Amino acid sequence: MRGSLARVWVAVLVLGSGCASTDPLGRIDALRITQKQYTDMVRWGDVERAQRFVDPALRADFVRLVAAFEGLRITDAEIGEFEHAEMTARVTVTYRGYAVANLVEKQAHEQQEWYRDEGLANVWHVRPGLDAVVTALGGRLPATSPATSPATSPARAAP
C-alpha cells in the first residue's frame, strides 16, 4: 500500500510540474494584452486614446500624429512575432490602409518597441514607429516631424 501511495504522489508531482507557468507574474500575458489594445486603437483610428500606452517622454510628439491619422483609414492590422526579454520587447505590426485622398490601399510596417516599468507591476509602454505608417500609407506628417521612429529618435534609449 505504501508503495502505491508513493507512486501516486510521484505521478501527481510529475504531472503537476508540467502545468507550471514559465511566466508566473504574467508579464508576457500583460504585454500581449496591452500591445493588442494599443494596436487595435491605432487600427480603428483612435490614436488619441492610444497615447496612454506611449512612453511618457514621447507622448507630446505622438499627439501631433492625430491630425495625420484623420486622413488615413487602416483596413487591417496583423501582429507579428514577439521578441521579448524580461523588461523589453519588440513587435512588428503590419498595417494595410490608404489615404482618403487617393484611395489606393498600401501596406506599412510599424516596429513597436515596448518596455516594462520597474518593479512588480505589469505596466508596459510603447515607443511607436507610426510616422513610418503615416508616410507609407500616403499621409502627411505634421510640420514638426514627431520623434516616433525607433531608428531616429534619441529618446529611444532603454529606460
Is the pTM here over 0.85, yes or no? no
Query: Residue 84 forms beta bridges with which residues?
Result: 89
Per-residue pLDDT of the chain (159 residues; tens, 9 = 90+): 555 544 544 444 444 444 445 776 788 898 999 999 999 999 998 988 999 999 999 998 888 888 888 889 999 999 998 898 888 999 999 999 999 888 889 999 999 999 998 876 789 999 998 888 999 998 888 776 444 444 434 333 333
pLDDT at 4: 55
Q: What is the structure's pLDDT at 11?
A: 45
* pLDDT value of position 120: 65
152: DSSP letter: T
Domains observed in the chain = 25-156 (3.10.450.50)
Task: Find where cell 508566473 sits.
Answer: 24
Alpha helices in 58-154 (DSSP H): 59-63, 66-70, 130-136
Terminal CA-CA length for the chain: 59
Cell of 156: 529611444
Say what the pLDDT of residue 113 is.
Answer: 94
